[in-house]
Amino acid sequence: MIEYLIGVDGGGTGTRALVSRRTGPAIGQGEAGPSALGQGIAPAWEQIELAVSRAFESAGLARPAPAQCALGAGLSGINNAPWRDEFLARNPGYARLLGETDAFAMLVGAHDGRPGALIAAGTGSIGEVWRPDGTRASVGGWGFPVGDEGSGAWLGLGAMRLAQGAIDGRAQPGPLARRVWAQCGGDAASLLAWCGRAGQFAYAQLAPAVFETEASDLASAGLLARAVTELEALAHALDPAGALPLAVLGSIGQRLAPRFAPALLARCVPAVDGPAAGALTLIRREVETDR
């Protein structure tokens, strides 16, 4: 008999779990380290289990056996089929286990379990839509450096290209290029070394410099205008008819959304809740369907 429902949001920076009884709101929450499946399935499960234990502890409950629980997890990397299959196969005994993408769990939480569209733009970027007829689609999210247009890492990569061009003499060194030099090194050897060891997260740390130099550097203003165009393209691809409410999340998305074209901006709505709540909603519906 399933007595408790658990919703988990797991990504590259941390894991959050919400627990509720079979009916009613969340009664406890817990956090742990990253559980993106790309870091390994066993380590991901370790962090999920730690977050779940902490959620029951915060609710003042002894942790029940997994067989008394149904768990829904919105996880980064679960769209990779081999990782998804291994994650589900390592179920430690939950009566029901649902694995979804972190982006879809975010969408469900943002729209309180109703159809809608979502753009998430932080370190990376992706768009998700859940239509009234139950169909779904994802747009973007191809990963850095090929995709993730309009994201923090994408902005940082553009800033680095500008800084490299200024080192070469292919571009005039403006405020943005000088900020990148100050952060990463002011000569060719230093920039090469930085780029050689930098990943998506490191490039995203350059994005604040783009915003901070926008008023004094046309290159920064141009990068941000292109980022807005890329995010608008995600929104139009998700919902060409413009019929669904749109939630825009993530540090970059929330800063750029006010710059959207008026018709698109009019569709934007605040997120009702987060991805852990979305995962909880999904597993609740899964369990109710079984009745």
- Convert the pLDDT of each residue in 54-67 to its tens digit: 999 999 999 999 99
Whether residue 285 is contained in a domain is answered as: yes
The answer to the question of residue 28 being in a domain is yes
Per the structure, the complete domain to which residue 25 belongs is given by 4-112+272-290
pLDDT value at position 237? 97
Nearest to 206 by CA among 186, 216, 220: 220
- Round to whole Å and give the CA distance between 277 and 9: 8
| 144 Cα distance to chain centroid | 13
**107 with 176, same domain?**
no
Please tell me whether residues 285 and 190 are part of one structural domain.
no
Helical (H) or strand (E) element with 234: helix 218-238
Locus of tokens 């008026």: 262
Cβ atoms of 125 and 148 within 8 Å: the answer is: yes
**The total number of structural domains that make up the chain:** 2
Per-residue model confidence as pLDDT tens digits over 29-41: 999 999 988 889 9
Q: Are residues 240 and 284 both part of a single domain?
A: no
Asked if residue 10 belongs to a domain, the reply is yes
CATH number for the domain including 48?
Answer: 3.30.420.40
Say if residues 41 and 68 touch (Cβ distance below 8 Å): no
Location of structure tokens 């959620």: 55
Count CB-CB contacts under 10 A for residue 146.
Answer: 7
Would you say residue 229 lies in a domain? yes
Measured in whole angstroms, the distance separating CA 234 from the mean position of its chain's CA atoms is 15
pTM for the model: 0.85
Residue matched to tokens 């919105």: 74
Asked if residue 81 is part of any domain, the answer here is: yes
Statement to judge: residues 240 and 189 lie in one domain:
yes
In a domain, 118, yes or no: no
Question: Residue 281: inside a domain, yes or no?
Answer: yes
Q: How many Cβ atoms are within 10 Å of 238's Cβ, its own excluded?
A: 23
Give the pLDDT band (50/70/90) at residue 76: confident
173 pLDDT tier (thresholds 50, 70, 90)? very high
Whether residues 283 and 226 share a domain: the answer is: no
Same domain for 174 and 258? yes
* Residue 291 pLDDT exceeds 80: no
Tens digit of each residue's pLDDT (9 = 90 or more) over 258-283: 999 999 999 999 999 999 999 999 99
Give the tokens for residue 189.
Answer: 């050897």
Query: What whole-number percentage of the chain has pLDDT above 90?
Result: 86
Task: Tell me: do 207 and 280 sit in the same domain.
Answer: no
* Pair (64, 37) in one structural domain: yes
Residue with tokens 């920064």: 220
